[in-house]
Amino acid sequence: MFSKKWPVLFGVMLSCLISSYVLCIYTGVFANSKLPVAIYGILGICFIIFLGLYNIRLKIYGFAMGSAHGWLVAHIYIGVFTVFVIIIHANCNISGLISIITFILFLVVVLSGIIGLLIYKSVPLSLSKYGRDVLSANEIKKRITKYQEELGTSITEMTTDSRKFYEKYLKSVFKAKRIKFRYLFMLETEIINRQTMKFGKDMNNLPEKEIYVMELFINHIVEIEKLRFVLAKTKLIRAWLNIHLPLTGAMVVFVIVHTISTVYF
């Protein structure tokens, strides 16, 4: 995910930042003037604006604005660097309600960013283990509906034994509409085992002719479960974005309020 130039650039920028801070402390500029604090603040705002532009870049496909991957790498490095800029800007002296809320929001956004990075790394790995095709959420939903429709017609033709078997083991899975939270913490193999193991014994009590039909039925339900597993994982990324983006928005609002209040008062 990271190209080599970024760690080098990050190192150089961080060295310059820390050196400038040490210089300010050593010369006593921080104690005598508010200018360095303001400069670090402006620098922080510029970086926050840049970080916000990443989301806009992702939605613009037609213009040569640099690759999305390059933007994400820059987003991560600049994000981490901004943490240092803001800490130096605060200079371990955060006073006033707005400043405190802004700083806390900033830390929460950074934390959600770190969680996002972990999700970005872990979700593809868990999905790629089984070599599945890459499907969009809509495609997954369509496939699930298709399987459900196919199975729906055969439910009406079931004998009493099969119907009982269906009601006992399969109905809850088949009819489920919501993606359950448990999918996030399970491996795909576990889902398959869970579905196939629990009804093994009762399956033998079915009429011989219907065992084959029920096996097909179960295979379809396992397939639906697998698709729900993928859907849950992809929804996790979307859910995370739904948290990270509003938090960022709230932080930007407080940064603006903080800047205005600092300038005027």
Name the residues that contact other proteins, by CB under 8 A: 1, 58, 61-62, 64, 67-69, 71-72, 119-120, 123-125, 127-131, 133-137, 230, 233-234, 237
**Closer by beta carbon to other proteins, 72 or else 101:** 72
Residues 199/165, Cβ–Cβ less than 8 Å: yes
Radius of gyration (C-alpha) of the chain in whole angstroms: 27
**Closer by beta carbon to other proteins, 75 or else 89:** 75
Residues 18/236, Cβ–Cβ less than 8 Å: no
**Closer by beta carbon to other proteins, 96 or else 124:** 124
Q: How far is the CB of 121 from other proteins (least distance, A)?
A: 9
Q: How far is the CB of 139 from other proteins (least distance, A)?
A: 9
**Closer by beta carbon to other proteins, 1 or else 92:** 1
CA 55 from chain centre, in angstroms, equals 14
Question: Residue 85 CB: number of other CB atoms within 10 A?
Answer: 24
Q: How far is the CB of 76 from other proteins (least distance, A)?
A: 11
**Closer by beta carbon to other proteins, 98 or else 135:** 135
Q: How far is the CB of 151 from other proteins (least distance, A)?
A: 23
Alpha-helical (H) ranges within the chain are 5-27, 29-32, 35-59, 68-90, 97-128, 137-155, 160-165, 171-175, 188-197, 200-203, 208-264
Return phi, psi of residue 159, to 5°: -80, 175
Q: How far is the CB of 52 from other proteins (least distance, A)?
A: 15
Burial state string for 164-190 with b = 16 or more CB within 10 A and e = fewer than 16: ebbeebbeebbeeeebeeebeebebee
